[in-house]
Amino acid sequence: MIKFFQPFILVGALLLTSLSFGQVYQNAWQIGYDSDTEVEIKAMDSDTAGNLYVAGTWLGTVDFDPSSDSALASTEYLENSFVVKYDANGDYVWHIELRGFYTATLGTRSPYVRMEDMDVAPNGDVYISGMFATFMKWVDGAGSAGGSIYSGGGRDIYVMKFNNSGIRQWHFNIFSNNNLNGARIALHPDLDDVYVVAQASKNSNNTGINVGSNTELLYSPSLNTFLAKYATSNGAYQWAKNFDTPDSTYLGVSRGMDVAVASTGDVYIVGSAKREVDFDMGSGQATQDLGDYEDVYLAKYDEDGNYLWAFGVGNETANNYGYRVDVDASDRPYVAGYWSGNIKLDSAQTSTTLHSGAGRDVFLAAYDTDGSLRWTGQWGTNNDVERPDVLVDGNNAIYLTGYFNGQNYFDANPNGGTDFLSAGGTSQDWFLIKLGTDKSYQWSADGQDDTNTGVGRALALVNGNIA
């Protein structure tokens, strides 16, 4: 998916050609959103019927229906969130609205609802997660007003399930009187459970974070990653566990940025961390000292949250971020992130050093199931390239999206070839790159727009096509 201030969605097809790379990107159809302000798409997914689901945040008035009809939605305060369903031809089916409101009991805190992630089951059941302040209400896919959720006094996490008609099945919030961050989700392959990864710190009442069934996780004052598991049938709490920061100065930090679940049920978490962090969320200990700047980390657990392995990599000159993770058909993880300076992406620190350009560069690292590094790729310009997303299809083809700045500086080919993309002028532009499982370069695409700002935020496969 591609995000614009007035965004559109591309669904692309692959055509066999006589080019040396064998494939090129062709636009099959697209949807544009008419909006008087910003629409940001945060996640996309599809079901086995070929329907496309798009989730994001908007501010102002937006029309989700690309036809001559309309499906208008307007915000009253700050940003609100949405899920919209399109059929395989790009025709509008329904949309859900999540709206924030003021409440006197929570004072003058600004209301908002932010979408963070979405996972769609093969039958079209929709699971979403995000953050909100004060309290939120929803309008379902049938246009009916639903109930409300009150925050615990800070910024809460919401998790909701809707069926393939857009009707709410259940919801809950994770709360404290402090702010929570993140909220990425992933379904277990048996579809019985859903995992949530996020970040939190101890609240001012020294009571912790309520993750469900009155269960509280206690934290040091620093920011820490937690992982929670819930039943998909009714949202029932299963368990929750968190990283620890043993450093007595409370300078240890960990940010859980994404989660992916392998076919075996093993769970991968990616993010960034610094100083002392204990990655074992059980009774054991797996503490690593990751230095004074945030390092990229990748951690693996079994389906019950038991520690398998983890490592962090970075440098002593800048913060570096693991941002997204996906797994291939062989359950091997692929990590996309961004960094500046020099970095080695293997746990043994014996691999080739990657050197960033003048700003931040994007990396993609492929690992085996034991955490050993298979290969790396990097992309950069004379400006920043940040916040990528990665998707691996059933044939182990890899898709990478993000954004870049600058004209004739972005080389989409990570293997020493030259396939330059141009943002045009000084604007940001999205990119989409396809690689083979061995990092072989297939093709790339970009917005080729000198005036609009485009940022690639999310990816989805729809009947074998990339969106």
**Which residue's entry shows tokens 């690292």?**
365
Q: What distance in Å separates the CA atoms of residue 458 and residue 400, rounded to the nearest whole number? A: 9
- Parent domain of 228: 2-466
E strands in 75-134: 80-86, 92-101, 112-120, 126-133
Helix (H, G, I), strand (E, B) or coil at 395: coil
How many domains, in total, are found in the chain?
1
Which tokens hold the place of 443? 């093709």
Q: What distance in Å separates the CA atoms of residue 438 and residue 456, rounded to the nearest whole number? A: 23
Q: Are 371 and 408 in contact (CB under 8 A)?
A: no
Can you give the pLDDT at residue 106? Answer: 53
Strand partners, 117: 129
Which tokens hold the place of 353? 């050093």
Q: What distance in Å separates the CA atoms of residue 99 and residue 104, rounded to the nearest whole number? A: 17
Can you give the pLDDT at residue 19? Answer: 29
Q: What distance in Å separates the CA atoms of residue 385 and residue 381, rounded to the nearest whole number? A: 7
Strand partners, 125: none
Can you give the pLDDT at residue 147? Answer: 86
Say which CATH number the domain at 160 has. 2.120.10.30
Q: What distance in Å separates the CA atoms of residue 193 and residue 405, rounded to the nearest whole number? A: 40
Strand partners, 254: 273
- DSSP label at 214? T
- DSSP label at 122? T
**Which residue's entry shows tokens 């610094």?**
274
Query: Which phi and psi (to 5°) does residue 190 adopt?
Result: -85, 0
Q: How large is the greatest C-alpha to C-alpha distance in the chain, in angstroms?
A: 66
Can you give the pLDDT at residue 442? Answer: 95
Residues composing the chain? 467
Can you give the pLDDT at residue 406? Answer: 62
Q: How many Cβ atoms from other residues are within 10 Å of residue 188's Cβ? A: 17
Q: What is the pLDDT along the chain (467 residues), one digit of tens a residue?
A: 333 334 445 444 333 222 233 355 455 555 556 556 678 889 999 999 999 999 999 988 888 998 889 898 888 777 899 999 999 988 999 999 999 876 655 555 577 899 999 999 999 999 999 999 888 899 999 999 988 888 877 789 999 999 999 999 999 999 877 778 889 999 999 999 999 999 887 655 556 788 887 777 766 567 789 999 999 999 999 999 999 877 656 677 899 999 999 999 999 999 999 998 999 999 999 999 898 999 999 999 999 999 999 999 988 888 899 999 999 999 999 999 999 899 999 999 999 999 888 788 899 999 999 999 999 999 987 777 778 999 999 999 999 998 877 655 678 899 988 888 776 655 677 889 999 999 999 998 887 655 555 555 688 888 888 87
Can you give the pLDDT at residue 50? Answer: 95
Q: What distance in Å separates the CA atoms of residue 66 and residue 449, rounded to the nearest whole number? A: 21
Q: Are 164 and 126 in contact (CB under 8 A)?
A: yes
